[in-house]
Amino acid sequence: MTFSGSSEHTIDDKNRLSIASKYRAELPPSVRAWYCVPWPTGELRLYPEPIFLELSKQWEQSLAPSEDEAELVSTLFEFAEKLEMDSGGRIRLPKKHIKLVGIGSAVAVTGANNRLVIRDLESWQAAERARFEKLSQLVTRTTPSSL
């Protein structure tokens, strides 16, 4: 599953968000749930259930994890919520998550490879040019020189 592009949406009065058909088309038919993780940068990260479960295996079970690792796992999984998708392709976002990241009802949903990202629409649009201009710097700093 690879998610790319963006779309504009509205979170309704019941905190429901419709997942765009272009994103639902990337999911195997058996996938009906997402994991929602609020992120301190003002966004909600949505992982299809199989991806979230696979990524969660990266933390080996241990009776004695380091303090930082134990705190990270505890905090991350405390905030992660499983969201079932209804027959119309909608999910109900946790009210707590919406408040934590400070998004309004108008949102941008963007593809981010293995996940979707939900951001406040106005903030996302205002920073679009800056994100674009920063792209080449990010590629230079994060891509192996062999590419």
**Which residues, in sequence order, are CB contacts of 123 under 8 Å at separation 6+?**
42
For residue 30, pLDDT beyond 80: yes
78-120 confidence digits (pLDDT tens): 999 999 999 999 999 999 999 999 999 999 999 999 999 999 9
Give, in order, the Cα–Cα distances in Å from 114 to each of 3, 14, 60, 95: 6, 27, 21, 24
Secondary structure of 27-53 in HEC code, one letter for each residue? CCCCCCEEEEEEECCCEEEEEEHHHHH
More confident residue, 143 or 50: 50
Q: Mean pLDDT highest for which of 6-10, 54-58, 129-133?
A: 6-10
Name the pTM for this structure. Answer: 0.88
pLDDT on residue 141:
85
For residue 31, pLDDT beyond 90: yes
* All domains of the chain in start order, with CATH: 6-121 (3.40.1550.20)
pLDDT on residue 145:
59
11-25 confidence digits (pLDDT tens): 999 999 999 999 999
For residue 57, pLDDT beyond 90: no
- What's the CA gap between 114 and 32, in Å, rounded? 16
Whole-number percent of the chain with pLDDT over 90:
69
The model's confidence at residue 60, banded by pLDDT at 50, 70 and 90, is low
